[in-house]
């Protein structure tokens, strides 16, 4: 208890110091004082900094925090005033891979959502707590075995790299070495059984959604294959990497192909005012869901890696009644994209609505975030 009080005093002291820094040399009126204090309290960077220091003190005592991330941010939605809140994520998994590395079994726990301090201003009012068991198959992705002559060449190159450390020839030799290490393209297929609890932040709307899902992915590891040119979503970023000097050539990424997840959820509503207003009962229903995710390196600027990520989710109730369709509760779509640097700066945009949302919103975000754990 004593330790917790100490951390609270640290946070309070940081608020006081930031407020003092924000003041002019002249005296402030009572209204100015309240205005300045409000600006400090509503600054998400203040809370991110405080909680980053708090986590640093606790992380060695509680490994749970290694997989838990919390970032304070300002919600800026069309037609609504800015609102302070936070985004949380806990993502942990346990994987067992076969000796041949052809399949893997994974159990994972994923908790994520957005919470606004004024809940009516939350544009992404959807919290999901999910447990997932997956069985994944891998085809390809193995390293081709070198001939004896290749092994001799590699040993010679390795010795030359040591002799030329720090010299321009080192980069040329390392590029030459990569020509002897060849992997095949990789496909993967995953079958997932999951159980999730979904709600809004006030828990006035809740539902349980077990389901069966399939996820698909591809990596173009083979250097001699033209498969990388099929990564069309990466074309704009390949051009950006070329323009910024992050890459010498226009080359789509071999690793950043979009991944896809689709399947059926069996949704059991337990408390949903929107459905109650339309239906006389709260029967369970089947829901089709589709998700696509994409992440790639956009550029490297001033030694900071800029990442672009995007996610699209689409939900559709199967066999929805006429009343549900007319109330526009049968389907939901949601898109989000994010530019984030390795030092924490981010720009984000979201559009659409998730289950429990009454209407679609467009939301913008800009700021600097402290990552409290391993969340990328």
Residue 228 has pLDDT above 50, yes or no: yes
Residue with the larger pLDDT of the pair 346 and 133:
133
The candidate with the shortest Cα–Cα distance to 205, out of 111, 125, 260, 145, is 125
Mean pLDDT of the chain: 79
Which value, to the nearest 10 degrees, does the dihedral of the CA atoms of residues 264, 87, 79, 366 take? -120
Confidence at residue 291, expressed as pLDDT on a 0 to 100 scale: 96
pLDDT over 70 at 323, yes or no: yes
Once rounded to an integer, what is the mean pLDDT over residues 23-32?
50
Q: State percent of the chain over pLDDT 70.
A: 73
Give the per-residue pLDDT at 133: 95
Find tokens 């040399």 and name the residue: 25
Lowest mean pLDDT among 88-102, 134-148, 205-219, 330-344: 134-148
pLDDT digits (tens, 9 = 90+) for 229-267: 999 999 999 999 999 988 888 999 988 999 999 999 999
Round to whole Å and give the CA distance between 206 and 74: 25
User: Average pLDDT, stretch 118-128?
Assistant: 83
Q: Taking residues 319-323, what's their average pLDDT?
A: 92
Residue-wise pLDDT for 82-106, tens only, equals: 778 888 888 888 888 876 667 889 9
Q: What is the mean pLDDT of residues 172-199?
A: 83
Provide the whole-model pTM.
Answer: 0.71
Confidence of residue 165 (pLDDT cuts 50, 70, 90): confident
Residue 337, φ and ψ in degrees, nearest 5 = -140, 155
pLDDT the model gives residue 48: 53
Q: With 90 as the cut, is the pLDDT of residue 370 above it?
A: no
pLDDT above 80: residue 13: no
Show the tokens assigned to 156: 């010679």
Q: Name which residue leads in pLDDT, 278 or 235.
A: 235
Q: Is the pLDDT of residue 325 over 60?
A: yes
Dihedral, CA of residue 221, residue 224, residue 230 and residue 233, to nearest 10: 50
CA separation, residue 71 to residues 88, 297, 310 (Å): 7, 22, 19
Higher pLDDT, 168 or 218: 218
Q: Is the pLDDT of residue 343 over 90?
A: no
pLDDT of residue 20: 46
Give the pLDDT band (50/70/90) at residue 10. very low
What's the pLDDT score for residue 357? 81
Instruction: Give the pLDDT confidence score for residue 42 in this predicted structure.
Output: 54
Three-class SS of the chain:
CHHHHHHHHHHHHHHHHHHHHHCCCCCCCHHHHHHHHHHHHCCHHHHHHHHHHHHHHHCCCCHHHHHEEEEEEEEEECCCCCEEEEEEEEEEEEEEECCCCCEEEEEEEEEEEEEECCHHHCCCCCEEEEEEEEEEEEEECCECCCCHHHHHHHHHHHHHHHHCCCCHHHHHHHHHHHCCCCECCEEEEEEEEEEEEEECCCCCCEEEEEEEEEEEEEECCCCCCCHHHHCHHHHHHHHHHHHCCCCCCCCCCCCCCCEEEEEEEEEEEEECHHHHHHCCCCCCEEEEEEEEEEEEEEEEECCEEEEEEEEEEEEEECCCCHHHHHCCCCEEEEEEEEEEECCCEEEEEEEECCCCCCCCEEEEEEEECCCCCCCC
**For 318-323, what is the mean pLDDT?**
92
Structure-model confidence comparison of residues 76 and 4, the more confident one: 76
Mean pLDDT of the region 192-217: 94
Q: What is the mean pLDDT of residues 262-281?
A: 89
Domains of the chain (ranges; CATH) run 42-144+182-368 (2.40.230)
Distances (CA, A) of 240 to 117, 234, 307, 341: 38, 10, 12, 15
- Distance, CA of 219 to CA of 45 (rounded, Å): 37
Q: 375 falls in which pLDDT band (50, 70, 90)?
A: very low
Q: What is the mean pLDDT of residues 319-330?
A: 92
Query: Looking at the predicted structure, is the pLDDT value of residue 19 above 50?
Result: no
């Amino acid at each position: 208890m004593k330790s917790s009080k100490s951390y609270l005093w640290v946070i309070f002291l940081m608020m006081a110091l930031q407020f003092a820094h924000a003041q002019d040399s002249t005296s402030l009126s009572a209204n100015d004082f309240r205005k300045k204090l409000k600006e400090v309290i509503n600054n998400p960077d203040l809370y991110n900094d405080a909680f980053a220091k708090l986590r640093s003190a606790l992380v060695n005592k509680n490994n749970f925090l290694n997989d838990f991330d919390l970032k304070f941010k300002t919600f800026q939605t069309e037609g609504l005033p800015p609102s302070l809140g936070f985004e949380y994520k806990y993502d942990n998994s346990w994987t067992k891979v076969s000796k041949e590395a052809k399949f893997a079994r994974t159990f994972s726990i994923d908790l994520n959502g957005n919470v606004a301090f004024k809940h009516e201003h939350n544009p992404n009012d959807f919290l999901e707590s999910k447990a997932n068991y997956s069985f994944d198959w891998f085809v390809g992705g193995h390293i081709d075995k070198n001939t004896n002559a290749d092994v001799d060449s590699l040993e010679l190159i390795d010795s030359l790299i040591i002799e030329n450390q720090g010299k321009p020839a080192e980069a040329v030799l390392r590029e030459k070495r990569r020509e002897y290490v060849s992997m095949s393209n990789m496909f993967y297929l995953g079958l997932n059984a999951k159980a999730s609890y979904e709600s809004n932040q006030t828990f006035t709307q809740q539902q349980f959604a077990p389901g069966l899902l399939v996820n698909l992915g591809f990596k173009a590891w083979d250097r001699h294959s033209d498969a990388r040119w099929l990564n069309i979503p990466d074309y704009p970023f390949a051009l950006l990497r070329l323009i910024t000097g992050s890459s010498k050539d226009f080359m789509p990424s071999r690793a950043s192909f979009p991944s896809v997840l689709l399947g059926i959820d069996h949704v059991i509503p337990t408390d949903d005012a929107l459905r109650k207003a339309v239906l006389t009962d709260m029967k369970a229903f089947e829901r089709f869901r589709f998700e696509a995710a994409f992440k790639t390196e956009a550029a490297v600027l001033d030694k900071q890696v800029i990442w672009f990520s995007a996610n699209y989710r689409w939900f559709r109730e199967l066999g929805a009644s006429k009343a549900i369709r007319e109330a526009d509760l049968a389907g939901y779509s949601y898109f989000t994209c994010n530019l984030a640097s390795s030092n924490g700066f981010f720009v984000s945009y979201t559009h659409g609505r998730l289950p429990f949302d009454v209407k679609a919103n467009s939301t913008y975000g800009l700021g600097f975030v402290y990552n409290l754990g391993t969340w990328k």
